[in-house]
Amino acid sequence: MPMAGCNAWHALVTLGGIEPGKRVLVHAGAGGVGGLAIQIAKAHGCWVAATASAANLAYLRELAVDQAIDYAACDFAEQVSEIDVVLDSIGRETNLASYRTMRRGGTMLVVLRGDEMEMANRERLCAQYGVTAKGVIFSAHPEILDRLRDLCEAGRLAPPRITVLPLQDAAKAHAMSETGHTAGKLVLKVR
């Protein structure tokens, strides 16, 4: 909760300035940061769409997204429009296509740093679509933990889904993580 939750809050609230009525698109919505971002945006009164694999669409619906999108079954950029804030933790082609979903004046939040494709196209796409792009670089923000605790205590924020594997399955956990198709977080149990 602290790292993923603080990262999601910092991106959406601090950098994205979300408020009631804003339209938010969260990529990798079934991941740790994505799942918490969905809940934070909903708690702030936003309309939220999120992308995930077909296997994780039900999880997105459990998180109360307004629109769950199977990124493999369709072009997500044809499914949503007039987006105010995009939270992109995927990059590359997903980032480039996300600009087509945005309304002028919107904010592109890029979690991954060092994506050469994204960086090479950022300035041009921001100018073309009339939006701002911001890199989400997280550092410790203890005051965010207080806000997350408030949402948890109010029943508006739940920890990400946890998959627990025994320590001897560390290689399997790593392989699962590499697929990018796990919901929530993976935990290795020492005993």
Q: Which residue has the higher pLDDT, 76 or 177?
A: 76
Domain ranges of the chain: 2-135, 161-191
Q: Which residue has the higher pLDDT, 185 or 158?
A: 158
The mean-pLDDT minimum among 26-35, 75-84, 105-114 falls in: 105-114
What global pTM score does this model have?
0.89
Of all residues in the chain, what percent carry a pLDDT higher than 70? 94
For residue 144, what pLDDT is reported? 93
Q: How far is CA 54 from CA 19, 34, 68, 84, 87, in A?
A: 29, 16, 9, 25, 20
Q: What is the pLDDT of residues 144-174, one digit of tens each?
A: 999 999 999 999 988 877 777 788 888 887 7
- CATH of region 2-135, choose from 3.40.50.720, 3.60.20.10, 3.40.50.10800, 3.40.50.620: 3.40.50.720
